[in-house]
Chain A
Amino acid sequence: MSTTVAPQTPVRPRRFEALGALMRSATFDIGVLILLFWVLCALFGHWLVPHDPYASDPLNSLVAPSGDHWFGTDQLGRDVFARVIVGSRDILTIAPLATLLGTAAGTAIGLVVGYFDGWVDAVVGRVIDALLALPLVIVALLALAAVGASNTTVILVIGLTFAPITARTVRAAVLSERHLDYVLAAQLRGENALYIMFAEILPNVLPPIIVEATVRLGYAIFAVATLSFLGFGIQPPSADWGLALSESYTLMAGGAWWTVVFDAAAIASLVIAVNLVADAVQGVLDR
């Protein structure tokens, strides 16, 4: 029988290849650096800042930026620099958890809908379309009216409004996979639908799911900030940026720009960082 000469060059597994390509991309590196900065702030910022971010000092309210208060103080005399630094804590907990929930739920729905096709697709597909028509803020308003404002509510609201969007992406990916012969081969082995969906198809649709999740994370951060600004999200006395904006934006007219600008810049930097990462991930995985 023929002896097979093997190619002698070892082939690196693709996952490391993808990681290598990501590391080489400047957008990814910048995004990750900014993200890392805010994560470190959320974890350790409390011990590093010169002032207690929650201590109010009415005598020193609305002090302009100075050597003592680098970013000035807010209406209640709290140090804005300290609050901006620790203000990432809530948003960096809520947004990823909401994204995780939305991605997990969306993936499960998308797999089932895509795999079973037929009437399941028709029914669930229309329900998804209906859900997609509801704006986030309206859903949040309803949920808060029903169960009250809390971080859990925010996670649930954002996660569940994101799920149908992810589900649609996953469904499309599954549809192109399920007609490949490996699905038939699995059926011919006597595998059940659950195994085929999660062990056979899921690994092959991971790239679009990962891309979708990173994009969603950016939207989630934005959504948390929006809800907090509107008063439906994170509640006082948190140092959250969106909340800070809603407390202070009226002071802009009085010239206290520092109460708003730094928080706004913080939100912007975080959203941009996540989008840079999402862009790089998409560039690598969608090849």
Chain B
Amino acid sequence: MNGPPPSAFPTFGAAKGDQADALTIVGLTVAYRSRGREREVLQDVTLRVKRGEAYGLVGESGCGKSTAALAVLRYLPRNGRVKAGRISIAGRDVASLNADALRGMRANAVSMVYQDPGRALNPSLTIARQVSEAFEVTGASADEALSRTAEMLRRVRIASPERVMESYPHQLSGGMQQRVVIAMALACNPELLILDEPTTGLDATVEAEVLDLIAQLRAELGTAVLFISHNLAVIGRMCDRVGVLYAGKLVEEGTTADVFAKPRHPYTVGLLRCLPREALAKASGRLDTIPGSLPLPGSIAQGCIFAPRCKLADERCLRDAPPPYRIASAHGDQMARCHYHERAHMLPRSTEEAPAYVANGEDQPLALSARNLSKTFRVGDEEVRAVHDVSLDLVQGETLGLVGESGSGKTTLAKLLLGLVSPDKGASLELEGAFLPERVTKRSDAQVKSLQIVFQNPDSALNRAHSVRRLIARSLSKLASLHGEAKEQRLHTLTEAVRLPARYLGSRTRQLSGGLKQRVAIARAFAGDPRVVVCDEPTSALDVSVQAAILNLLADLQRERRVSYVFISHDLHVVRYLSDRIAVLYLGRIMEIGRAAAVFDGPQHPYTEALLSSMPSIDGTHAKRIRLSGELPSAANPPSGCVFHTRCPRKIGAICETETPPCRDADDGHAIHCHIPVDELRILQRQER
């Protein structure tokens, strides 16, 4: 075990109280055994969650966050074991519990909420059955359990518990399912609630609602929370204190306010710089990244684990593992495992700051133009209109961001542009001024190569049976009609352009990290020198540091090659960073379209307003929150009049229910589909800032 012995490592930031902490972890080291080798995935982790406190554990994938949660519950898989350290929940040592006591502790003292509520719920049991079960294990009778279930569902803000109780999980939306899971977790009135990425799979507006709910419940019940997330902004919003995990070590810890305002570890500094923040756009500069990649567990035996990726590292860092340094900060103690914690914030940037950005002229020719695109799917007897009468123009070299909740038709719209599905009658497409056939099979070779896509999930988009070389080479011969030596040469310029080291050419994709995979996918899309690339959530499966590198790459490629992007993302910061213009979709209709800055600054469509206020920000400054009530209506049966009227916080009256709103012009091509006049929207929204 590295580092000082646990006894030399006092817990931070709290005076010793009479009551035991909700959770104390001291010197925890967990190892997994695979193929005869033992790898330490957590090393000497010490943290405490006080009663009623929300503690955030943040880190990128593979850093050991979930292992920590599993170890706390003694749920480690068979090949995992706690090598050293002590875990106690509410003063009771978890390791010493026998099977009965352990079951009792899981039933009464601690609960866990997982990432995917769809999987946490049993699909063949009604909600009433499975939630009341949680009460029954605490000793309630069946009748009592049912009545307490209804009460608990009301408590998690489910409006009609009776109806929900009779439902099966698949009949509920993702946000509703997560509420049910939270209700189950709270059934035993736990000392400690562990939330493992509870909102990661949810839409921004639903995420905001669930986070609100968790915050309110915490205020009401005083439950201590261990909140595990890769999302710094979410942690920033929800937690009092935060611990940053890197490669199995807790590298920094402190109050959320201190850590985010003045991080003391270069990793935290880098992580915070990777985030596209408000008002940051590709024109104003590139995002900083963290060079290198996460080391394999246990591969760094000497010195600081972050040293190989740290620009501040010197010989001392490579030689001596830094002990946990304690620093007194503004809001309490702060801990950093860095020899140079006092100058961590001076970490040099690893990317050049601001490239000479060529601003887009107004008179650029059109790359892609779509008129009256609609798409109706037939599901059983119902007609579902996924996209409704969308018209778009895309100028050469610009990025059009598409935002909207899931089910808003973003991906269908992308597929329509790409020719993967046929639009309904009456649509027309043009590529650089020339007629573009609807289906990709009818398009000319030049048109096919001009319109390419980067998919969301590279695991699905890259054929795992083919080598990286073959994946890219095939696109080169197919799209660029290159063969032999010329192809080989272009292959190398292309991999260089996407910063894919040549040694990976012979690998299969499963041997690559997520970021490298996405680089392969980008290289493939750029093989034929495309004019328009559709990016369908290209960074949503990636860690923030990798996301920053990919966003930089996309911006660089766009600047060098004057390519246009249709950029789909649910992350508004990301969209804001890369987009010149933004279109907001709701139920397959464009609600608002305009320059990115104009859409963000307002006046806004009420839906855009709600979307924007639902996004958590690490800067901690929040405009007045607008929450959407109710569920996304079915596209098979959209509301009359303005489709948004059922959830609109600014609904003005009957006109919203009966008449389709007009398209109002708010200057400079900024169009808002709303019954409220632009000036009035501007006044309404300014008042609430």
Contacts and interface: CB of A to CB of B under 8 A. Distances in A.
B508 A181 contact: no
B489 interface: no
A189 interface: yes
B445 interface: yes
A66 interface: no
Interface in B453-471: 453, 455-457, 460-466
Contact of B293 (A1, A7, A182, A200): A7
A5 interface: yes
A204 B296 contact: no
Contacts of B475: 189
Given A4-B501, A180-B460, A204-B464, A189 B351 contact: no
Contacts of A188: 418-420, 440, 448, 451-453
A203 B465 contact: yes
A189 to B, nearest CB: 5
A204 B465 contact: yes
Interface residues of B, number: 47
B549 A2 contact: yes
B463 A9 contact: no
A5 B511 contact: no
A7 B308 CA distance: 12
A204 to B, nearest CB: 5
Interface centre among B309, B445, B456, B474 (most CB of A within 10 A): B474
Contacts of B503: 6
A181 B501 contact: no
Contact of A182 (B350, B463, B508): B463
B524 interface: yes
Contact of A5 (B292, B463, B499): B292
Interface string B87-102: 0000000000000000
Contact of B463 (A1, A11, A200): A200
Interface in B404-454: 418-420, 440-441, 445, 448, 451-453
Nearest to B519: A4
Contacts of B440: 187-188, 190
A187 B418 CA distance: 10
B552 A1 contact: yes
A40 B251 CA distance: 64
B182 interface: no
B291 A3 contact: yes
A191 B455 contact: no
B516 interface: yes
A13 interface: yes
A187 B462 contact: no
A186 B475 CA distance: 9
Interface string B329-372: 00000000000000000000011000000000000000000000
A4 B466 contact: no
Given A7-B293, A14-B508, A190-B445, A2 B479 contact: no
Interface residues of A, number: 26
B539 interface: no
Contact of A7 (B296, B418, B556): B296
Contacts of B463: 182, 186, 200, 203-204
A9 B291 contact: no
A11 B418 CA distance: 36
A36 interface: no
Contacts of B556: 1
A14 B351 CA distance: 36
Contacts of B549: 1-2
B464 A4 contact: no
A185 B509 CA distance: 15
B524 A3 contact: no
B507 interface: yes
Contact of A2 (B350, B452, B461, B510): B350
A200 B296 CA distance: 32
A184 interface: yes
Contact of B309 (A5, A14, A204): A5
Contacts of A9: 296
Contacts of A190: 440, 445, 448, 478-479
Interface string A159-195: 0000000000000000000001110111111110000
Interface in B496-514: 499, 501, 503-504, 507-508, 510-511
B289 interface: yes
A2 B499 CA distance: 8
Given A5-B308, A190-B448, A204-B464, A181 B293 contact: no
A4 B499 contact: yes
A44 to B, nearest CB: 38
A181 B455 contact: yes
Given A11-B507, A187-B440, A200-B463, A2 B351 contact: yes
Contact of A189 (B308, B309, B460, B474): B474
A162 B334 CA distance: 69
A184 to B, nearest CB: 6
Nearest to A203: B465
17 contacts: A2-B350, A2-B549, A4-B293, A5-B292, A6-B501, A181-B455, A182-B461, A182-B462, A182-B463, A187-B420, A187-B441, A188-B451, A189-B475, A190-B448, A190-B479, A203-B463, A204-B464
Given A181-B460, A190-B440, A203-B463, 10 more contacts: A2-B290, A5-B291, A6-B504, A9-B296, A11-B507, A11-B511, A184-B461, A187-B440, A190-B448, A190-B479
Interface of A: 1-7, 9, 11, 13-14, 180-182, 184-191, 200, 203-204, 206
Q: Which 6 A-B pairs have the closest CB atoms?
A: A203-B465, A5-B292, A181-B461, A182-B463, A181-B460, A2-B291
